[in-house]
Structure 1
């Protein structure tokens, strides 16, 4: 068995994680696992990096919806992998699976309900990254939350922050297809051009050059009906001022607040009362049973028929994962951040 390079969790960060201090790539040159009944050994091909993982960088005594990373162990992520050794008849050697894998080249997996075979992965023309992006957790996040919380109606206006990211770019295309006017914010002129020229947003702006308040005042003179929240802080504050009565806030994430000891205090929450707003957070697992089949069928058809675009930012190799993760938290990624580990 060859060596196995993994990213090991070293310490809990209080602000932005630092490569080498909080996590680092290490190589085990004596990797020779012996499988127990029910286990499989997989060769990881691609895995996902997502903002929610920052919340896993904490002491395990702090309860949350997702288990904390363990100090001294590899970090984990949703990934696509090839089964290369199996003691589980459900996953024969050669199967391509979607599973929670380590940030590493090889992972030993127990029999978990979150593991599933991707039946057409070898034959499909879709890149493997699709199964951890547009057809994976970020895609379901956009599709289900927009339907269930946003309750979009043709003719309404939606504002999406972090609109060129893993969730935002699909949410915008779905909203547009369902008859909404779409407004997106992003952190560079290049990302704004992508939103306007490729993704098909009606309006987009660079929040680093123009305040969200001023942009929405011009681009949505009659207000917004839905805010797809990915950022928090001042962006949320501006959206609250521009939401119409009975507006809906899909609270997907608040990445501006993940790496600070001094969270921003939103000052205009009285809008929630006076405008009778709905603001609802969620975890994507909330929607899996109700929406996954429809989501996978609908979005895969759109993707195969080139009715939607989906940009991926791919880091090369396990050792590149820590820097890519920190870059994503700083908004340096362009599209869905993944790590390419090996070719199929």
Structure 2
């Protein structure tokens, strides 16, 4: 038998522990073309909150009384696939449980000589790829331009800022604690950083962006996104990755109207999900891995130890408790 985590109630506002349930279920047996894997790491991500609502979105909602799923790194225990062998380390979208039976088509092997296995849920995984494609394909930062990143100390935002620096931009991050501000400037090389909890964001942006804003990588939305709009330069680009400030709202989010700002500046504002770039994942992973190996791209992971603390790690996302990527360590890799 093994433990798994199910969604048993649709959250109202911010999720609480009572919305989830631990249960004991049998460990499955793989059929032909499948493998049995033991979970090593689980990714907890803000976007999962949206899947807990019974509304149409870019991915189907979680079903009640069914296991929750997200990015997982796991080790093959038994294989009935010619593409995988025992002890291979793989990643894929799998359940919040200690073991999973996975079809060979939904997992891929990872190379732990490039980076530790957990990195395939952070800088070399979906978060790194989200930063890479959103910034470079939509944002297209140029040498000397100003790039502003909200949620800058998170897994996506911290990678966005570093890539922007690699491309020669003046980079300003927005985060929610002095510890995170110091990390962005002292460790990651951001040119400036704003603590939205203690500073007036609009005033601080004017000071940090004397030449206006050419690229705004949106992770947060709300008043922070509103404060950016008056500073947009001609032909500014705004990749819209997320809006975590509104994820737990019970009513529609209301704020500044963007149309006038976009018309006045001929700016581009484009929403996206990383799945839009699936055919190019190899390109992105190779580029990110190269920067990591060259020491140009650093990453942080907030790793919570123990499957029993998975829900705690997820709820902490909405308290801003994580630095970098939030990951749960379930078991050691042999």
Q: Fold conserved (TM > 0.5)? A: yes
**Is 1:7–1:319's contact at 8 Å kept on the other side of the alignment?**
no
Name 1:274's counterpart in structure 2: 264
Partners of 2:118 and 2:94 lie apart in 1 by: 14
Name 1:326's counterpart in structure 2: 315
Match among 27, 35, 43 for residue 30 of structure 2: 35
Match among 98, 109, 115 for residue 117 of structure 1: 109
**Is 2:40–2:75's contact at 8 Å kept on the other side of the alignment?**
yes
Counterparts of 1:86-97 in structure 2, within 5 Å, are: 86-97=79-90
**Displacement, 1:125?**
6.5
Partners of 2:134 and 2:240 lie apart in 1 by: 9
Name 1:26's counterpart in structure 2: 23
Matched position secondary structure for 2:234: strand
1:255 aligns with 2:248: no
Name 2:43's counterpart in structure 1: 48
Name 2:154's counterpart in structure 1: 165
Partners of 2:195 and 2:313 lie apart in 1 by: 22
- Most deviating of 248-257 and 84-93: 84-93
1:107 aligns with 2:107: no
Name 1:154's counterpart in structure 2: 143
Partners of 2:169 and 2:295 lie apart in 1 by: 20
**Displacement, 1:266?**
2.0
Partners of 2:70 and 2:201 lie apart in 1 by: 33
1:201 aligns with 2:190: yes
Partners of 2:290 and 2:29 lie apart in 1 by: 41
**Displacement, 1:32?**
4.1
- Most deviating of 176-185 and 10-19: 10-19
Name 1:175's counterpart in structure 2: 164
The unaligned stretches of length 5 or more in structure 1 are none
1:7 aligns with 2:2: no
**Is 1:76–1:102's contact at 8 Å kept on the other side of the alignment?**
yes
**Displacement, 1:272?**
1.6
The unaligned stretches of length 5 or more in structure 2 are none
Match among 307, 332, 336 for residue 325 of structure 2: 336
- Most deviating of 103-112 and 73-82: 103-112
**CA RMSD between the two structures:** 1.4
Q: Using a 3 Å threshold, how does the CA distance of structure 1 residues 247 and 32 change in structure 2: closer, same or farther? A: closer
Matched position secondary structure for 2:194: strand
**Displacement, 1:276?**
1.6
Name 2:64's counterpart in structure 1: 71
Matched position secondary structure for 1:51: coil
Matched position secondary structure for 2:66: coil
Partners of 2:288 and 2:266 lie apart in 1 by: 32
**Displacement, 1:327?**
0.8
1:288 aligns with 2:286: no
Matched position secondary structure for 2:104: coil
Matched position secondary structure for 1:167: helix
Q: Using a 3 Å threshold, how does the CA distance of structure 1 residues 33 and 184 change in structure 2: closer, same or farther? A: same
Name 2:124's counterpart in structure 1: 135
